[in-house]
Amino acid sequence: MEKKYKLFINGVWVDSEDGSSIDVINPATGEKITEVSQASQNQVNAAVDAAREAFDRGPWSRMAPAERSNLLLKVAERIENKLQEYATIESMISGKTIKQSSNYDMPYIVDNIRYMAGTARNFEGKALKEYVPEGASTIRRDPIGVVAAITPWNYPLMEVIWRAIAAISVGNTVVVKPASLTPVTTLMLASDLEAVGLPKGVFNVIVGPGSSVGEQLAKNKKVDMIAFTGSTEVGKRLMELGSSTLKKVSLELGGKAPFIVFDDADVEAAVQGAVVGGLVNNGEDCANSTRYYIHENIYSKFLDALLRELRKVKIGNPLDETVDMGPLISESHRERVESYIRKGIEEGGKLTYGGKRPLSKGFYLEPTVIETDNNSSVIVQEEIFGPVWTVLKFKDYDEVIEKANDVIYGLGASVWTKDITRAIRATRDLSFATVWINEHVPVPSEMPWPSYKQSGSGSSLSTYGLEEYTYVKHVYFDISGATRKSWYYQVYGQK
């Protein structure tokens, strides 16, 4: 890792104008590992101007899709070749285990980019068709323009791929503002994009607090679209900021996924899925299973097995290949998560497992299980964004669907059953944008990652995820050649 990282604006690496910088802390130790220049107001505007110029007058938006695609394929290859370096730095800045970043996040990112590079080449409108006798219509899909991509700390690089690489793959230009806690791999990506010859101004990175740099970027009149991944609260604020110039706003926000286990399920498989669904990314994943609804007939069996497995979870240095769970992202985030544990107990929940700080150094927290029968309690309703899970008992189908749907979020849900009819019915009845049956977490690059309710709007991945960054344009061709078309009399003159 470098000692200090600069900003990337208009194809040039620049220091902060006023000398200010942001420290990057290793959550496993609490120590500073590097620092990054912080963008001034002028630099935020300069990055937007560069993206505007690159979109309006640069070659990127008019380039043959194959040419854009080839550049992205080269970037995917560079990341693949440096996979361990990317994975190690991602783990050092975010606390996620090296097991996850090198075996899952980075290979998945490479696949995401290759998928986008390939799919963007096949982007087409509808073929020409005569919907009226005198005219032929076709549909074009055009890039939107300058996209402000504002991303979170939990998947620092992946979210930049899902937002910024998706946007540029179909001809937009971007200004990325990564989370202040985890900007390093985004800047490494900028360096690799530069190395493969991305035209200047297409991909810019500015770093700084969301409340100042993020807001200034989102408000800029030259920005056409805000692509945001983060909390529901900030998503609402960005909708407000975007409204003054009616920017397109695409939001991927919080989640509170239910994990429903019926009494005919393979309980051991459900338990394995429950540990992984809850623990993936140290419990800091918007898709984490967080509300376990267990049928009363198998409640004790499931819970005993879940606790048996949780005792095996190895917590420690995320760079150790054998570690299952690293630290949370920051001290303040750990305190926030712990406050939810206290709240859960105050509300009558039973702390069945965990809740303690297992190591004296770093921001570690044990996986925590709270049993409750109160679906309205704060720990069941609010996104905790840490390894704190509630377990609730249910009696029948209607009851559990109603409880599962009774949250403001609608990102992911899973159902564990061997009854195919019930499984299909649940996919209809659950108000969540992704429903897994006998599984929790996987999303292939070809499939969308959309949102219901206050989990956001729009989608990532798949063709839907790329369409997100395009306008639909109708083009109408007169094919009659007539001076006066047959319908003009309706406006003036006679038939």
Provide the minimum distance between the beta carbon of 406 and ligand NAP in the complex, in angstroms, as a whole number.
Answer: 18
CB of 254 to ligand NAP, least distance (A): 4
- Which C-beta is closer to ligand NAP: that of 76 or that of 286? 286
Does 35 contact ligand NAP by CB under 6 A?
no
Q: Does 180 bind ligand NAP (CB under 6 A)?
A: yes
First to last CA, the chain: 76
Residue 102 binds to ligand NAP (criterion: CB under 6 A): no
> Could you count the other beta carbons within 10 Å of the beta carbon of residue 372?
21
Which residues are registered as beta bridge partners of 393? 294
Closer to ligand NAP by CB, 72 or 179: give it: 179
| Minimum CB–partner distance for residue 297 and ligand NAP (Å) | 33
Which residue from 150, 175, 198, 270 is in contact with ligand NAP, where contact means CB under 6 A?
150
Binding of residue 155 to ligand NAP (CB under 6 A): yes
Q: Using CB under 6 A, pick the residue from 230, 387, 410, 450 that binds ligand NAP.
A: 230
From the list 192, 252, 366, 371, which residue makes contact with ligand NAP (rule: CB under 6 A)?
Answer: 252
Dihedral (C-alpha) 384, 390, 394, 400: value to the nearest 10 degrees? Answer: 20
Nearer to ligand NAP, 218 or 271 (CB): 218
| Residue 392 in the binding site for ligand NAP (CB under 6 A) | no
Active site residue 286: yes
Query: Of the candidates 81, 84, 211, 332, which one interacts with ligand NAP according to CB under 6 A?
Result: 211
Q: With binding defined as CB under 6 A, does residue 95 bind ligand NAP?
A: no
In terms of CB distance, is 151 or 282 closer to ligand NAP? 151
Angle at CA of residue 76, ends 255 and 99, nearest 5°:
55
Please identify which of the residues 90, 159, 284, 286 carries the catalytic annotation. 286
Q: Give the one residue of 177, 247, 291, 295 binding ligand NAP; rule: CB under 6 A.
A: 177
Q: Which of 75, 190, 234, 435 binds ligand NAP (CB under 6 A)?
A: 234
Is 194 among the residues known to form the active site? no
Q: According to the binding rule CB under 6 A, does residue 242 interact with ligand NAP?
A: no
Q: Which one of 90, 159, 252, 366 is the catalytic residue?
A: 252
Binding characters for ligand NAP, 257-296, by CB under 6 A (x = yes): -----------------------------x----------
Active site residue ranges: 252, 286
Q: Which residues bind ligand NAP (CB under 6 A)?
A: 150-155, 159, 177, 179-181, 209-211, 214-215, 218, 229-231, 234, 237-238, 252-255, 286, 383, 385, 411, 449, 455-456
